[in-house]
Amino acid sequence: MAVKVGLIGTGTVGAGCLDILRNHHDDFAAHYGVDLEVVRVCSRQPDVARAYGYGDVFTPDYREVVNDPEVQLVVELIGGTDAAHDVVATALRNGKAVVTANKALMATAGEELFSLANESGVELAFEASVGGGIPIIGPLKHSLTANGISKVMGIVNGTTNYMLTQMDEHGVGYDEALRDAQQRGFAEADPSADVDGLDAAAKIAILSSIAFGSRVTLSDVHAEGIRNVSTTDLEAARDMGYCVKLLALGARTPEGIDVRVHPTMLPLSHQMAKVSGVFNAIYVVGDAVGETMFFGEGAGAGPAASAVMGDVIEVARHMVMGVTSFVGCTCTRSLPIVPMDDLETKYYIRFPVADRPGVLASMAGVFADFGVSIYSVVQRGKKEAGSVEVVYVTHTACERDIRAVVAQIASQDDVLRGEPSIIRVED
């Protein structure tokens, strides 16, 4: 049975989907009983549509796709939250199933879009929104449903993982690592979403919503990036038996959901410490299954298109069978978000400070004033231009107190000579 598809977006992932369809169309029909027929293609690049033989069904206007009565399934691959929201919402209102790879959209408007899908009796699938080619949405919604999930932890941004790997293994600084990532196509010209942790924040919002059955949106996630991480920090971590990763963490606690993104020190013995380069990994802990880890390439035409087309085939199969999604929106609870200020963990803090008598004594006094116990303090790196790098590692402390310590030290005259680096320690 034919299922008629409208594809919106023919960039890297969209072209990858067309490649997969060209290479495996007959296999899909033979194995799964679905004849995927692309009847509309929309993008800003008519040449791509022509190159794949879809020039006669091309349109530059997405409205012609979502309002076309012939289209049964819309694939949205344009990204962003403006036009993409209109694409998905209009398609669902018009009774069309939707497959999207749009993490930002699902992390901000997921509740609304699932409501529209339910009202229209159609399916909304989004496997490619997290982890690229790594299957994780499906396992959380199907294979792991017998579990109470207590923790989801992920390296879910390939750009920052590549940069941190380069800095750690080759000793290059942040700026050089970023230039390298941009030259290789791993980072955008404006890398803010990646290096400031916003991309990872959208992904952990989605994962936490599914894992804990309670709505978590992008605005709920405390996000910090890697701009202040230096090779000094990575060397110090290694000396302590750790590595530094930009981690997205979600945990179910008695107080609610603890969800955050920030640079984190992981023990070198942890499975995720070995995830390098552009690879992603997602670590899930369930009460029955125990510890599991999903690993693979998190970006690129092939991996992302693999996840998109997996959704397309599954949704098309449901349409042929006359059923909707077996598992729709899983957010049946309303749990509070644990304030970041309440976090308790160990901290690594590097201060670039003035190289003069009395500075260390005054800083130690600030830690004592706020009840933060110091495990160690060392000077690292070379003295440069009258400043030194002083590294503190604390015993378990409260985030609120650590922030107060840093703010108090920053307020002292001519002490700080740059932005401190705060890295939480995950044991």
**Encoding tokens for residue 16?**
């990858």
Domains in the chain, number: 3
Asked if residue 331 is part of any domain, the answer here is no
Do both 211 and 230 map to the same domain?
yes
In a domain, 333, yes or no: no
Same domain, 52 and 112: yes
Considering the domain boundaries, does residue 332 fall inside one? no
Kindly give the pairing relationship between strand 279-286 and strand 421-425: unpaired
Is 328 among the domain residues? Answer: no
Q: Would the annotation count 15 as a binding residue?
A: yes
Same domain, 98 and 148: no
322 is in an annotated binding site: no
Checking if the pLDDT of 325 tops 90, the result is no
What pLDDT, on the 0 to 100 scale, is given for residue 323? 82
Angstrom distance (rounded) from CA 322 to CA 210? 25
Domain of 381?
340-425
pLDDT at 298 over 80: no
Check whether residue 239 and residue 315 sit in a common domain. Answer: no
> Does residue 326 form part of some domain?
no
Would the annotation count 154 as a binding residue?
Answer: no
Whether residues 142 and 121 fall in one domain = no
- Structure tokens of 24? 């495996």
Distance CA 297, CA 181 (A): 15
pLDDT band at 326 (very low <50, low <70, confident <90, very high): low
> Quick one: 245 exposed, middle or buried, by C-beta within 10 A (0-12, 13-18, 19+)?
buried
Give me the mean pLDDT over the 66-74 stretch: 98
**From the CB of residue 355, how many other CB atoms can be counted at a distance below 10 Å?**
14
9 a known binding residue? Answer: yes
Residue 132, annotated as binding a ligand = no
- Write down the pLDDT at residue 327: 65
Output the pLDDT for position 242: 97
Look at residue 6 and tell me if it is in a domain. Answer: yes
In the predicted structure, residue 194 carries a pLDDT above the cut 80: yes
What CATH number is attached to the domain comprising 58?
Answer: 3.40.50.720
Average pLDDT, the chain: 94
Question: Which of 321, 354, 371 finishes a domain?
Answer: 321
Q: Measuring CA to CA, which residue among 60, 57, 38, 48 is closest to residue 11?
A: 48
* Polymer length of the chain: 427
Q: Annotated active-site positions, please?
A: 203
Same domain, 9 and 147: no
Residue 67: is its pLDDT beyond 70?
yes
Tokens of 259: 């969800």
Does 231 appear as a known binding residue?
no
CATH of the domain at 360: 3.30.70.260
pLDDT score of 300 more than 80: no
